[in-house]
Amino acid sequence: MNADPTIDSSSGTLLHPSTHMLIAAEIMCFAIGLPTVTGTALLAIFFLTALGIPSRTEFRLTWKFIKILGLGALFLFLIHAVRWNPPGFSREGMLIGVESFTRIASPVIGVIYLSRRVRSEELFAMLIDCRVPPSVILILFRTLWLVPRLTERMDEVVTAQKLRGMRVETTMQRIHALIPTLNPIFSSMLTEISMNSLILSSRGFISPGRKTHLTALRYRPVDIAVITGLTFFLGVLWC
């Protein structure tokens, strides 16, 4: 029996990952390029739509990014809208603040949308299909893989240091505590990376030739229809 090992990722989505990226990029560009009120309204609609469509991924970044947006809005309000001497609010400052908020919110909402629609294996497959060099894919995905591992190790080492009686009362003591925490983590990870790279070299990951992946991605007529329709709609809005 010679079954096809590739997994069709189309279940639960109609669109190709690159179409999702194009949608996010188009809306981000138009939100920044359109007049402030229209751009902000477009972005708000996109944000609500992104939240309204059920998430296909295991990423839980939405709440974190909403908090970032809240923090950005607060500081923009304090920097632009509040007048301290004499105390009061500035209408012009408020408008500048809203314009700056649109610029900050555009990438944040774009990433929220993509994190809810594109799975990591689809991103990997798309990069392979786009002939991105394997070394670039390796750097990107290994960084994503290493971040939680490093965080976990840092947690372990800091807990161990605290149990040993590490003093962290003042800022200087905390900075002093940082150095003996980082050194063993970095050295051990460097050794691990060294061995891992040997394994990857022996498996020929960096060697020439087209790489394969297990997720089948297909362009459908609906991809072209969505992109054309969206571009037309945004063009009309622009005019």
Count the neighbouring beta carbons within 10 Å of the beta carbon of residue 100.
17
How far apart CA 162 and CA 116 sit, in angstroms, is 38
- Does 177 participate in binding other proteins (rule CB under 8 A)? yes
- Tell how far CA 229 is from the center of its chain: 26
Do 28 and 106 form a contact (C-beta atoms < 8 A)? yes
At closest approach, how far in Å is the CB of 235 from other proteins?
A: 25
- Does 139 participate in binding other proteins (rule CB under 8 A)? yes
- Does 198 participate in binding other proteins (rule CB under 8 A)? yes
Give yes or no for a cis peptide into 208 (omega within 30° of 0): no
User: Which residue type is seen at 196?
Assistant: N
- Does 51 participate in binding other proteins (rule CB under 8 A)? no
Of 1, 3, 190, 239, the residue at the interface with other proteins (CB under 8 A) is 190
- Does 189 participate in binding other proteins (rule CB under 8 A)? yes
User: Which residue type is seen at 24?
Assistant: A
Of 163, 179, 236, 239, the residue at the interface with other proteins (CB under 8 A) is 179
Which residues in the 96-135 window bind other proteins by CB under 8 A?
96-97, 99-101, 103-104, 107-108, 110-111, 115, 133-135
At closest approach, how far in Å is the CB of 101 from other proteins?
A: 8
Of 10 and 56, CB closest to other proteins: 56
- Does 183 participate in binding other proteins (rule CB under 8 A)? yes
Of 154, 216, 227, 230, the residue at the interface with other proteins (CB under 8 A) is 154
Do 19 and 224 form a contact (C-beta atoms < 8 A)? no
Of 22, 41, 66, 68, the residue at the interface with other proteins (CB under 8 A) is 68
How far apart CA 160 and CA 126 sit, in angstroms, is 42
Nearest to 239 by CA among 37, 43, 33: 33
